[in-house]
Structure 1
């Protein structure tokens, strides 16, 4: 199972990653990430929540990367994703409030 944790540049993301050790975990962020973090650390560049097509861009990313669960750590990301929860559920992608697991 591939899991995506958002807000990769935060300490909370790494704390949650350590709690969920049992799965394949990907970290991603929409903030500007230096190339070395993307190439060497394997972080994903995520769509910006300010984008009008944010939910569809996230769905495409999840399908491309085989992501089955998203732990959103920012309220903005979580709110937008939850607005399209039915769409994500159709593709068997679960949405979680990452803050609830810290």
Structure 2
């Protein structure tokens, strides 16, 4: 799978690379980005940030780069991309976010050491095994990158953003 991760110049984006070993990763960010490529990823610039056309800009870059999934990390991208998920899907691009109506429920936990990445309920990566979280992800068909608490109770989730 080829995936585009926004916020590509952040430490958070680099941390998430662990979840996508064996996949092609394009790290993208607004403004100037280092002209750097490695075996694990390639970096590109998304140009100047324009919040009025975010989803359209991201879709164009996804199409130009032939990506199959997008993981937006900037907090200002979440709503526009979630609202446009159907459009991305029409071009066979998975949006790794919960649906727009569910976004608010995944913004309350904050950072923890534990995190996981899901695509339509399938666990792509998890820092610490948690069967209750796997079940919750499958039941809710979750997509996205989340911090989670490691309690024995119902796991709380928070979208990873920068």
Moved over 6 A (4+): none
Indicate the residue corresponding to 1:78 in structure 2: 78
Shift of 1:47: 4.7
- Which runs of structure 2 are paired with 1:54-65 in the superposition (5 Å)? 54-65=54-65
Structure 1, gaps ≥5 residues long: none
Structure-2 separation of matches of 1:16 and 1:54 = 22
- Which runs of structure 2 are paired with 1:1-102 in the superposition (5 Å)? 1-33=1-33, 37-38=34-35, 40-41=36-37, 42-97=42-97, 98-100=144-146
Structure-2 separation of matches of 1:6 and 1:95 = 12
CA RMSD of aligned residues (A): 2.0
Structure-1 separation of matches of 2:90 and 2:5 = 20
Larger RCO (CA under 8 A, 6+ residues apart) = 1
Q: Report Cα offsets for 1:66-98 as digits up to 9, x if no partner.
A: 011011112211221111111001111111145
Contact 1:29–1:44, Cα closer than 8 Å, also in 2: yes
Structure 2, gaps ≥5 residues long: 98-143, 148-159
TM-score, with structure 1 as normaliser: 0.81
TM-score, with structure 2 as normaliser: 0.54
Question: Structure 1 residues 86, 47: CA separation in 2 closer, same or farther (over 3 Å shift)?
Answer: farther
More helix by share: 1
Work out the number of aligned pairs and report it: 98
